[in-house]
A and B are shown apart, each in its own frame.
Chain A
């Protein structure tokens, strides 16, 4: 019988071990390439068990090192963390298989380095999921930023260098200047770095300061990509597509909104937020980001750029759900972490497949090529429907809960925002299959898609349908995030 403490270690360490082993296997490329999927399977096995224990309401904590008095690194199982940990480790399996196809198909250089840092980034994301206190969270937040830098600048050309600079300066700058002092402020106010299920700040922080502290958190968590600190995400699209798929649609950005949700629920506590109205401004900011980036996405002809803006918009759903400060909305936000991850990773997989298969990056070049790669476009179609929120795709669940939550908190306008956004989503995502299947072909291209790319893409798109019917355990878990008194 393996204890939950050990499962935490298994889940966290398997990507780290993959990272360490990769450089030693650089001669044997088959072994090196398949370390990722194997690590992913082991890690998700651990994550599944952790989720199971979270469902049974077990409380497990694990202290790793004690840096100094009251400052330590440790992990614990929370419902929200269990969800994010599972999402990151489970999708890593498919992303790892996909990257083999992509890196080989594209004949990329420095593959060993790529796989090593890829695993490192996954490790950091999973550590964020199970972080037991704000310091651990912050540490791995930074590790995640630094481990993705070599991935973003993988091509090592001028564009990559510029994008890398923007990426680092926004993410490191915001986290060091705002997030760190905010965390230390909490430390000074409450006397510890711990978090708790119903927030720790009530009664410890003057309500007048709450909006200021919240603002420091919100703009400090650059990975959540709220306007005006969203620019790094489109810039990061210079990275190879597996990076954009797993990291900039799942691990990194979800780490951002995960941190945001944790701060809103476990540091402030939604009761405290609802009472003081400290998060009201955040509702409007998130709504604005949500709509503005959807509109920008319509005007992007570059497929990855459009998906990037779509991601920013979807991340704002999650922030918005947290800011609404009602139990239902928080549930919706947490579910959206899963549903958006499954949908968006599929879309990025398709974008990468088209690049490997025919060097297509622009949407306007897709006209009429639907039938030359029907499965890939079908996958895109299914993924899009999930993002838009059409049943029976899993995306419909989270939107449903978010709207209920908005009604619950009494912000009827926000329901309108969700509706408009859905229309915009449909508008910019459906253009792609529509062009592929119904437009006239302009020139003949042969799209050859490697199996290692096609299979994971189909699996993740099928996942969006499958999860629609098996959402119950996740829904149970999300209902435990905010326990009602």
Chain B
């Protein structure tokens, strides 16, 4: 029994939320639909941990779906790279589900709750499928599953604020354009190589030199994924979507959605096209590097001038995605590892910040703007304390997870002769202190109104866990650092 489970883990991780989402929709009761969702995300997380242990032994698991052998059939691949986003997505979605219990019924109609949880699980399944699949077209399918579910989830925010509809529509259209670009790219590649299996693609691309269709296909795929990953300037769907989605949805999306796409980006650049070095290197140097730098500064500056806190955090996400793509763009083993380290750390940082801010929104029962925060530091000490710690982590202060990201990112850029990059990274992260401090100062300094509601354990439990993770991975980062270095090792091998 256990054997069968272990053998089929790669597909079970995806199927668990997918199947449960079909079940949840049938349960009208608020509590039970939540409980089932929690159970399902918990199981998914558990399976990911099991998968992680399997990976430590086998280091590469290939699973042929329906026993149709690749490259004809669809292949699922779990290796040391894929396990990082799998752990991030399943872990964060579990925490976000716990957090959703109290928050969700406040913000949406009671009768549609089970539908929301169904979409919620569908989105998670889509994201997990995205990172496990080894088939370029199957990836498109999961991309669409996760996007459409997320769009619907954002649109549900309309119960509280009609702006959510606009946000969801934007997200839908731009997301669809991105997915279309990606599938055009896949089509071109299929035309040239005659395969959709990623590993097979890698081998066949090696034999083709300077084929225009190949280059065009690469371009389409990269741009399509960059839209999904919200790489500047293709990020415009993101701030609105995060800001107007229901609170719990913002937490889920902010911490996980772009991570999956960033992982795909790394896969395309360093794995599928590993044999077209010139093409990839030029893309890194002339496209991704400048865009990442722009993202770092544009995102940060937008955040400084933003009054609405959820949007502020969304802009900050754009900047943080810039750090990750910058790490990829430097293209050495150390820097790619730094990118994965930050991918993980950013998920726990942004998750924490969004949980803190949305629980504040729950207590004050208004949109959270800078001015609404006056004096909340004293009213909600636990939330405030966790918010401060997560902010310090985002700014990259020592003893927090964020510091580890910065440390390795800067070390990687200095050792690849990019001391100017290191200085730019630091200037941008010093600027990020400005917007975080703006929030903390208002909460700490100004006198505010009393709020009636007391802080509720079901809400702050996830916050405390995630804040603890921020500190823990700042003190003992060996797990993340080693994992990321192994991933980078796997991705670019011994070439560089």
Contacts and interface: CB of A to CB of B under 8 A. Distances in A.
Contact of B422 (A67, A165, A181): A181
Chain A interface extent, by class: 20 to 34
B422 A184 contact: yes
A44 B414 CA distance: 41
Q: Could you tell me the dominant secondary structure of chain B's interface residues?
A: helix
Given A67-B404, A69-B481, A161-B441, A188 B414 contact: yes
Interface stretch (B8-16, B291-299, B425-433): B425-433
A455 interface: no
A138 interface: yes
Given A142-B398, A177-B430, A184-B411, A168 B437 contact: yes
Contacts of B433: 168-169, 172-173, 176
B370 to A, nearest CB: 14
Nearest to B473: A67
Given A161-B441, A184-B411, A176 B396 contact: yes
- Residue among A68, A135, A181 with most chain B CB within 10 A: A68
Interface residues of B, number: 33
Interface in A176-207: 176-177, 180-181, 184-185, 187-188
A69 B484 CA distance: 13
A19 to B, nearest CB: 15
A169 B437 CA distance: 10
Given A176-B396, A177-B427, A177-B430, A184 B476 contact: no
Interface of B: 392, 395-399, 404, 406-407, 410-411, 414-415, 419, 422-423, 426-427, 429-430, 433-434, 437, 441, 444-445, 474-478, 481-482
Contact of A67 (B392, B423, B429, B476): B476
Given A67-B404, A68-B404, A68-B481, A181 B445 contact: no
A153 interface: yes
B397 A188 contact: no
A165 B441 contact: yes
A173 B437 CA distance: 12
Nearest to A135: B398
A275 interface: no
A153 B392 CA distance: 19
Interface of A: 65-69, 71, 135, 138-139, 142-143, 146, 153, 156, 161, 164-165, 168-169, 172-173, 176-177, 180-181, 184-185, 187-188
Given A65-B476, A67-B476, A68-B404, A176 B398 contact: no
Most A CB within 10 A of own CB, among B422, B426, B437: B426
A188 B481 CA distance: 17
Given A68-B478, A184-B410, A185-B419, A138 B398 contact: yes
Contacts of B441: 161, 164-165
A181 B423 contact: yes
A5 B474 CA distance: 24
A180 B415 CA distance: 15
Nearest to A185: B414
Contacts of B398: 135, 138-139, 142-143
Contacts of A161: 441, 445
A69 B411 CA distance: 13
B469 to A, nearest CB: 15
Nearest to A172: B433
Nearest to B431: A173
